[in-house]
Amino acid sequence: MTTSIREKQQTSPYFGTNSSWLEYYYDLYLEDKNAVDADLRSFFDQLGDTENDARHLPVIEKFAAAGQLNPAASVVSGDAEHQQKQAAVLRLVNSYRVRGHQKANLDPLNYSKRPETPDLELAFHHLNDADLEKTFNTGSMVAPDTMKLKDIISHLEGVYCQHIGVEYMHITDIKKREWLQQRLEKNAGAFPFDAEQKKRFLYALTKAEGLERYLHTKYVGQKRFSLEGGDALIPQLDELIQHLGTGGTKELVIGMAHRGRLNVLVNTLGKSAGALFDEFEGVKADELDNVNSGDVKYHKGYSSDVATPGGDVHLALAFNPSHLEIIDPVVIGSSRARQVRRKDESKNVVVPVLIHGDAAFEGQGVVMELFNMAMVEGYDVGGTIHIIINNQIGFTTTHALDKKGSMYCTEVAKMVQAPIFHVNADDPEAVVFATNMAADYRQAFGQDVVIDLVCYRKHGHNEADEPSATQPHMYKLIKQHPTARQIYADKLAAENLLNADEAKQMFDAYRDLLDNDEPVVTFGPTHKNDKFAVDWTPYVDGDIREDVNTSISNTQFEGYGKIITNLPEDLKPHPRVNKINQDRVKMLAGDLPMDWGFAETMAYASILDEKFQIRIDGQDSQRGTFFHRHAVIHNVDINENYTPLEKLEGEDHGIDIINSVLSEEAVLAFEYGYATSEPRALVIWEAQFGDFANGAQVVIDQFIASGEAKWGRHCGLAMFLPHGYEGQGPEHSSARLERFLQLCAVNNMQVCMPSTPAQTFHMLRRQMIRKVRKPLIVMTPKSLLRHKQAVSTRDDLVNGQFHEIIGDSKADAKKIERLIICSGKVYYDVIEAIQEKGIDTVAVCRVEQLYPFPRPQLIQELDRYAKLKTVIWCQEEPINQGAWFQIRHHLQFCIEGRFPLHFAGRKGSPSPAVGALQVHIKEQQQLIEDAIHGEHGSAIDAE
């Protein structure tokens, strides 16, 4: 009679409590046969084909089905009871790896309640005190192959339950888990630092505490967002720089919010203490104006070059607004640009470091967006080192105990399977050990890592805040708690490494440096002379109104056109794409007028040919949201694609066209960061619909519009925002032109609404050729991409230029009594109605650049019409939106009271557009009628 699998399982020594032990080693075997010992390898080999079905059947059932119920005695020694105990011990080991962090001593205040960990108790695994003296196999622990159970537990307690708690068992890649396991369990919690290193840690803590005490006494009550309680950040950063520098890293790009920022500026980057004190005293405040507004001292950035054994490391601390985590994608974008500049294919030469607050890390959605981008082509920077200054309290009142979910603020990092190192900030050795291991993991695997620096906040949210009003118990503990420097100085004294007098001398020496404004950081010999630093000087004093030649030659036109249209013979595009390419061949030959996609692609070709870099990023940018671009052509037969423009790439200039993740905020911030770090790159972010820019409004407000005024950061980022009323409802009509115009002042950016393909061609070329870098906001079209009248000719590219105003060249100036001024698509609707009705007394003028507003050109156009009686501003948007209220003063200036000025457009509305197509059509017809024939009772129409 045949024995069933179930019966075989029940009689097998590998069934039940032993199964998890065997499953664990079988998992190792499947990843790498050499990862298990010879006996087990031989045993597993008998199971046959592990490639095809190993994952589809529990290992115990495979053993039973294969008849492998009585393996050689050498696999597991001893009787059945000992085998069961051995399996229990290995499960206990695994429990420490999974749950040891919850038992770890992480909170310096011992304020947060730790959860119960019954699975770390002997009884949970059917072990008892009598087993403590028994010897067991240690499994894959970095320890002797066999140890007494009490020694195994002691080892595990030292590794996982002291001042470092590590979460890594959620990582599915067994090689990464093994790497971490080996590094963690090697030293059993004993950190391998010598006396010199320990004194260095103490000095770093001395710097951290010393600066805060100095500021607290010299500038009483002023906001500084003190680091006190999180002092270990300074030795952590100092040692991270030295560790990475020794390994070959040349550049760290750092982002952080305001908590501890002044301390990092002085003690890590070496900003002059005297310069910082001047800022506290407002010495340079009279130099600021609306052009250079400046910013508060705890938002400013800085850069320096610090000496390490492996050479100088350039440190760049990014500026930031008060929007906490929004600096994160900016830093990552900047890091990507620097890696490209250095040809850093390993992505280990330039390393991004982000310093977060605990509540912000888990509360701000941009953090999740950034993790979602981490391993996506086009955004990958080889992993980010995340450091969380975990005060255990958010702003003023929200403590970790108030949360109903996880006990940690780091859960979001698990979406990319990042290892998470929770560490007690009162133990600088644990902090440095965890940080160095995290950095090595990042360098080895090119993925994000998180160090959760569990600390406290000595003062309130700022120094004027009274935290004990809302957290009385916590702040009672804080007042009684010694500083990290005191704790560590006492520890070193107990180790006979220094005495109290030496610790005080160290503190006094640091204070003397501050008093004398002497450097507290050792700069490297290349300080301020890094050959990879970008030279922004050609663009600093550039004129946004500079007139440059953007035309190309006939030879260039022919050459670019052939590169764009000549596809490989073995490339089979989609039929619709092939039709577009065939039409472009005709456009090149002059048999068809040029459409938008052809002229835009020609612009990119010319820009690449002039040795500029191009980066285009959006949710459907390769083909274009409206199926017009097709800069990347896909082969229908095989999974490959072809980018014609890559033929124009060179050693120092290439093109990346990226279909972005479904994010606006993080992606736009990434591209802003990239553009601020590379002036020779045309960086374009394209919204799928212009309306979606509102998902990135914080980036627009805090960086794009005001970054130059606040921080002196130049940026040539272009934003493509499809805009135009096509009857597609409120969220697919308006890019909120009025918001961008409201942010315009002192030539901070450009806002354009080109109405022809040639205008886009010259606008893009002008953006790169001019010796100025300002953001370019483009209201790009939708229906005009294929509009029969929105076309251009070869001559428009070869002999043309960007026109900020396009007058009515077909109108007889002597007859014109009414001038309609407009921007964008509505021009074609208005001109079509005029032509249909045969009206010859109305002219239409297009404003192609709404900011800086071209007053001289408009005045010149107005002066052409001797019989002019009325001027109309016509727009598709409601009167309270669009350009009207933002440019009316420009129009009035140009008119100088000579003519009445009227408005033609939609009535005021809180919504950008109506949802019903028939209502849209009726509104559109009415505003065109108003523009051409409308009688207006007042000079300026009210809502």
What are the pLDDT digits (tens) for 203-218? 999 999 999 998 888 8
Name the maximum alpha-carbon separation found in the chain. Answer: 112
Nearest to 409 by CA among 376, 360, 446: 360
Concatenated DSSP letters of 599-659: HHHHHHHHHHHTT-EEEEEETTTTT-TTS---SSEE-SSSS-EE-GGGGG-BTTB-EEEEE
Mean pLDDT of the chain: 89
Q: For residue 655, is pLDDT > 90?
A: yes
Amino acid in the structure at residue 530: D
Confidence of residue 68 (pLDDT cuts 50, 70, 90): very low
- pLDDT at residue 276, as a whole number: 85
- DSSP letter, residue 713: -
- C-beta of residue 665 within 8 angstroms of C-beta of residue 698: yes
- What distance in Å separates the CA atoms of residue 424 and residue 447, rounded to the nearest whole number? 24
- pLDDT at residue 23, as a whole number: 61
More confident residue, 281 or 819: 819
Confidence of residue 935 (pLDDT cuts 50, 70, 90): confident
Nearest to 622 by CA among 570, 657, 589: 657
Q: What does the pLDDT look like over 295-344, one tens digit per residue?
A: 776 678 899 999 999 999 999 999 988 888 999 999 999 999 999 999 99
Q: What does the pLDDT look like over 250-266, one tens digit per residue?
A: 999 999 988 899 999 99
Confidence of residue 632 (pLDDT cuts 50, 70, 90): very high
- DSSP letter, residue 594: B
| Residues in contact with 281: Cβ distance below 8 Å, sequence separation at least 6, in sequence order | none
Other Cβ atoms less than 10 A from the Cβ of 716: the count is: 21
Q: How many residues does the chain have?
A: 943
- Spell 82-91 as b/e; 16+ CB within 10 A means b: ebbbbbbbbb
- C-beta of residue 428 within 8 angstroms of C-beta of residue 204: yes
- Tokens linked to 641: 């694609």
| Residues in contact with 860: Cβ distance below 8 Å, sequence separation at least 6, in sequence order | 805
Q: For residue 819, is pLDDT > 50?
A: yes
More confident residue, 78 or 138: 138
- What distance in Å separates the CA atoms of residue 381 and residue 386, rounded to the nearest whole number? 13
- pLDDT at residue 10, as a whole number: 41
- What distance in Å separates the CA atoms of residue 396 and residue 927, rounded to the nearest whole number? 52
- C-beta of residue 627 within 8 angstroms of C-beta of residue 574: no
- What distance in Å separates the CA atoms of residue 168 and residue 183, rounded to the nearest whole number? 12
What phi-psi label fits residue 927: left (phi over 0), alpha (psi between -120 and 50 degrees) or beta?
alpha
- Tokens linked to 220: 């009483």
Nearest to 392 by CA among 380, 379, 403: 403
- pLDDT at residue 772, as a whole number: 96
- Number of helices (H), then strands (E), belonging to the chain: the values are 33, 26
More confident residue, 377 or 70: 377
**Which whole number is the average pLDDT over 594-623?**
96
Q: For residue 894, is pLDDT > 70?
A: yes
Nearest to 720 by CA among 746, 748, 682: 682
Confidence of residue 395 (pLDDT cuts 50, 70, 90): low
What phi-psi label fits residue 582: left (phi over 0), alpha (psi between -120 and 50 degrees) or beta?
alpha
Q: What does the pLDDT look like over 78-112, one tens digit per residue?
A: 578 888 899 999 999 999 999 999 999 999 999 88
Residue whose tokens read 């949710």: 619
Q: What pTM was estimated for this model as a whole?
A: 0.91
- pLDDT at residue 574, as a whole number: 94
More confident residue, 24 or 650: 650
- pLDDT at residue 863, as a whole number: 95
Q: Of the segments 535-549, 600-614, 632-646, which one has the largest average pLDDT value?
A: 600-614
- C-beta of residue 206 within 8 angstroms of C-beta of residue 504: no
Give CA 627 to chain center in angstroms. Answer: 28
- pLDDT at residue 292, as a whole number: 78
- DSSP letter, residue 785: G
Residue whose tokens read 């076309």: 791
- pLDDT at residue 310, as a whole number: 95
**Which whole number is the average pLDDT over 151-155?**
95
Q: What does the pLDDT look like over 30-48, one tens digit per residue?
A: 767 776 666 567 667 766 5
Helices of type H across 135-232: 149-160, 174-186, 195-218
- C-beta of residue 535 within 8 angstroms of C-beta of residue 599: no
| Torsion angle in degrees (nearest 10) through CA of 751, 753, 758, 762 | 0
- C-beta of residue 159 within 8 angstroms of C-beta of residue 188: yes
Q: Would you give the end-to-end CA distance of the chain in angstroms?
A: 94
Q: For residue 432, is pLDDT > 50?
A: yes
Q: What does the pLDDT look like over 757-807, one tens digit per residue?
A: 999 999 999 999 999 999 999 999 999 999 999 999 999 999 999 999 999
- pLDDT at residue 6, as a whole number: 40
- pLDDT at residue 143, as a whole number: 85
The percentage of the chain sitting over the pLDDT mark of 70, rounded to a whole number, equals 90
**Which whole number is the average pLDDT over 692-715?**
94
**Which whole number is the average pLDDT over 451-458?**
94
- What distance in Å separates the CA atoms of residue 598 and residue 615, rounded to the nearest whole number? 18
Burial class from Cβ neighbours inside 10 Å (0-12, 13-18, 19+) for residue 128 reads exposed
- pLDDT at residue 838, as a whole number: 94
Q: What does the pLDDT look like over 512-535, one tens digit per residue?
A: 999 999 989 988 887 777 778 888
Nearest to 830 by CA among 782, 882, 778, 876: 876
What is the arrangement of strands in the sheet containing 901-906, beginning at the earlier edge strand? 805-806, 842-847, 818-822, 870-878, 901-906
Per-residue CA distances from 613 to 523, 623, 645, 649, 827 (Å): 32, 20, 12, 8, 34
Helix (H, G, I), strand (E, B) or coil at 832: helix
Nearest to 72 by CA among 45, 35, 39, 41: 39
Q: How many CA atoms lie within 13 A of 920 on its CB side?
A: 18
**Which whole number is the average pLDDT over 876-889?**
97
| Residues in contact with 531: Cβ distance below 8 Å, sequence separation at least 6, in sequence order | none
| Residues in contact with 927: Cβ distance below 8 Å, sequence separation at least 6, in sequence order | 826, 874, 875, 876, 904, 905, 906
Confidence of residue 405 (pLDDT cuts 50, 70, 90): low
- pLDDT at residue 842, as a whole number: 97
Nearest to 797 by CA among 757, 831, 826: 757
Confidence of residue 241 (pLDDT cuts 50, 70, 90): very high
Nearest to 694 by CA among 919, 881, 943, 825: 881
- pLDDT at residue 324, as a whole number: 86
- pLDDT at residue 51, as a whole number: 46
Give CA 842 to chain center in angstroms. Answer: 50
Q: How many CA atoms lie within 13 A of 665 on its CB side?
A: 18
- What distance in Å separates the CA atoms of residue 384 and residue 111, rounded to the nearest whole number? 30
Q: What does the pLDDT look like over 535-584, one tens digit per residue?
A: 899 998 889 998 999 999 999 999 999 999 999 999 999 999 999 999 99
Give CA 518 to chain center in angstroms. Answer: 35
- pLDDT at residue 526, as a whole number: 77
- What distance in Å separates the CA atoms of residue 630 and residue 868, rounded to the nearest whole number? 45
- C-beta of residue 823 within 8 angstroms of C-beta of residue 884: no
Confidence of residue 248 (pLDDT cuts 50, 70, 90): very high
Per-residue CA distances from 840 to 82, 805, 834, 871, 924 (Å): 104, 21, 8, 15, 22
Other Cβ atoms less than 10 A from the Cβ of 568: the count is: 10
Q: How many CA atoms lie within 13 A of 566 on its CB side?
A: 8
- C-beta of residue 882 within 8 angstroms of C-beta of residue 742: no
Confidence of residue 4 (pLDDT cuts 50, 70, 90): very low
Per-residue CA distances from 380 to 334, 615, 655 (Å): 12, 14, 16
Least reliable range by pLDDT among 382-396, 418-432, 717-731: 382-396
- C-beta of residue 659 within 8 angstroms of C-beta of residue 620: yes
Q: Is the peptide bond before 472 cis (omega within 30 degrees of 0)?
A: no
The percentage of the chain sitting over the pLDDT mark of 90, rounded to a whole number, equals 74
**Which whole number is the average pLDDT over 424-436?**
97
SS3 content of the chain, % helix, strand, coil (to 5): 45, 15, 40
- C-beta of residue 685 within 8 angstroms of C-beta of residue 713: no
- pLDDT at residue 744, as a whole number: 97
Q: For residue 172, is pLDDT > 50?
A: yes
Give CA 726 to chain center in angstroms. Answer: 33
**Which whole number is the average pLDDT over 914-934?**
94
